[in-house]
Amino acid sequence: MTDQKPFLFDIPSVTELTGKIKTVLEQNFMDILVEGEASNVKRSANGHFYFTLKDSGAQLPCVIWRSTVQRLGIDLTDGQQIVIGGDIQVYEPHGRYQMIVNLVQQAGIGKLQQAFEKLKAKLKSEGLFDDIHKLALPKFPQRIGVVTSKTTAAFQDIRATLQKRWPLAEVKLFHASVQGVNAAPEIVNGINYFSNHKNVDVVIIGRGGGSLEDLWPFNEEAVARAVFHCEIPIISAVGHEVDFSISDFVADSRAATPTQAAVMAVPDINEINIRIEDLYRRLQLNTQGAVQFYKDKVTNLARSYALLAVQQKMETAANRIASMKEQLEYKTTGLLRNRRDFLLAFQHRLDKQNPNEPLEKGFARVWQNEKWIRSSKDLKKKDSFEIEWKDDRLKYD
């Protein structure tokens, strides 16, 4: 029997082996791009983002340092389909590798379309699109919330339409980006703000048309669930007539354009005025008809008795009826006058509430920083301002 000889080569320690792995990975996976879905997004107290980038087959731990977050100006939420760039780093004490991210972009259109169909099927199966969950829009809203960018033409269209159709309502804007990786979290914040504070009667979310990438924030799962859980009726108005987003399916109502959303949200003050006038005429005709009916009925009753004794009693009764008729006519006239005065007063209130009435009479209005300047002391003379007439609006620098 021969003795076994000891090994002639060195066995590395865990630290040595991990160091070799670190060298291989970090030298060969620098400045790389990878695409996937953001998951388990968490922001530390120091401002760093920790999350997992995943697909159907694997997961990649990632971190974005605070300095990069500030430089990119980004905000992440779960479910976003993104492309990230950076370097692979090995953390030796835990034997764990992760990606240090220095670039975040929206994923390409092919992946976005797949993600759209996947999320649409998922939310539909959960019942988020069912009509039973949808809230009715208020008929006469006093306060309207809008979640969109304050710099877009969509908001200007919404505001102008609301002011024309229903100037009695107050418009509250929650500014939010409407494209890019920051948009979805900001839109969610806007929806939750109105839902939690309950300071409006209806909410409009949306933006103008664009590519699938531009409209993508309204296809994010976080936005869809915020819309579903909102306790205020929501109108989704994303893109143009041919564009559909996930938020359109979840919202209580869908508008083809932002302008149509404003039309759906409020009644037309001119139609209300016409309706009031019509009701007043119908009330007047109905009351006059009722008076004539009872007058004819009394006359017929008075003529139906032939006997003198009865006729004598009827004359007495007729006198009483005549007195009652006068009282009825007096009360009816008073009722008509009161109803007419009420309707005219209400119509006068509506007319006075129209902020554009002075413009129709030839007056002008001064705007500065999107604020109506009502007094000279409110005007900042060094800043630019705008003057609005009935038919135009000019800016002076």
CATH number at residue 315: 1.20.58
Q: Has residue 3 been placed in a domain?
A: no
Q: Are residues 167 and 259 in the same domain?
A: yes
Domain boundary among 230, 265, 300: 265
Domain boundary among 75, 107, 139: 107
Domain count, the chain: 4
- SS3 at position 16: helix
Token pair listed for 227: 């819309």
Q: Has residue 33 been placed in a domain?
A: yes
Q: Are residues 148 and 241 in the same domain?
A: yes
The distance in angstroms from the start CA to the end CA of the chain is: 104
Q: Are residues 45 and 98 in the same domain?
A: yes
Instruction: Say what the pLDDT of residue 141 is.
Output: 96
Q: Are residues 118 and 211 in the same domain?
A: yes
Q: Are residues 142 and 181 in the same domain?
A: yes
Q: Are residues 140 and 235 in the same domain?
A: yes
Minimal CA–CA distance to 65: which of 104, 25, 106?
Answer: 104
Q: Are residues 243 and 150 in the same domain?
A: yes
Q: Are residues 291 and 274 in the same domain?
A: yes
Token pair listed for 105: 């972009």
How far is Cα 335 from Cα 329, in angstroms, rounded to an integer?
10
Q: Has residue 67 been placed in a domain?
A: yes
Q: Has residue 335 been placed in a domain?
A: yes
| 393 Cβ contact partners less than 8 Å away, ≥ 6 residues apart | 367, 386, 387
C-alpha neighbours within 13 Å on the C-beta side of residue 95: 6
Minimal CA–CA distance to 365: which of 383, 342, 391?
Answer: 391
What is the chain's Cα-based Rg?
36
What is the value of pTM for the model shown? 0.59
Instruction: Say what the pLDDT of residue 307 is.
Output: 47
How far is Cα 190 from Cα 173, in angstroms, rounded to an integer?
9
Q: Are residues 273 and 260 in the same domain?
A: no
Q: Are residues 293 and 391 in the same domain?
A: no
Q: Are 242 and 229 in contact (CB under 8 A)?
A: no
Q: Has residue 240 been placed in a domain?
A: yes
**Ranges under pLDDT 50 in the chain:** 305-307
Range of the domain at 121: 113-265
Q: What is the pLDDT of residues 111-135, one digit of tens each?
A: 788 889 899 999 999 999 999 999 9
Token pair listed for 143: 């306060």
CATH at residue 155:
3.40.50.261
Element (H, E) at 85: strand 81-91
Q: Has residue 294 been placed in a domain?
A: yes
Instruction: Say what the pLDDT of residue 4 is.
Output: 59
Instruction: Say what the pLDDT of residue 395 is.
Output: 77
Minimal CA–CA distance to 283: which of 343, 196, 214?
Answer: 343
Q: Has residue 9 been placed in a domain?
A: no
Instruction: Say what the pLDDT of residue 49 is.
Output: 95
Q: Are 356 and 167 in contact (CB under 8 A)?
A: yes
Which residue is it, tokens 């920790």? 50
* Separation of CA 201 from chain center: 11
Phi first, then psi, for residue 152 (nearest 5°) are -90, 155
Q: Has residue 7 been placed in a domain?
A: no
Q: Are residues 212 and 301 in the same domain?
A: no
Strands 170-175 and 385-388: unpaired
How far is Cα 219 from Cα 155, in angstroms, rounded to an integer?
20
Q: Are residues 134 and 241 in the same domain?
A: yes
Domain boundary among 107, 124, 144: 107
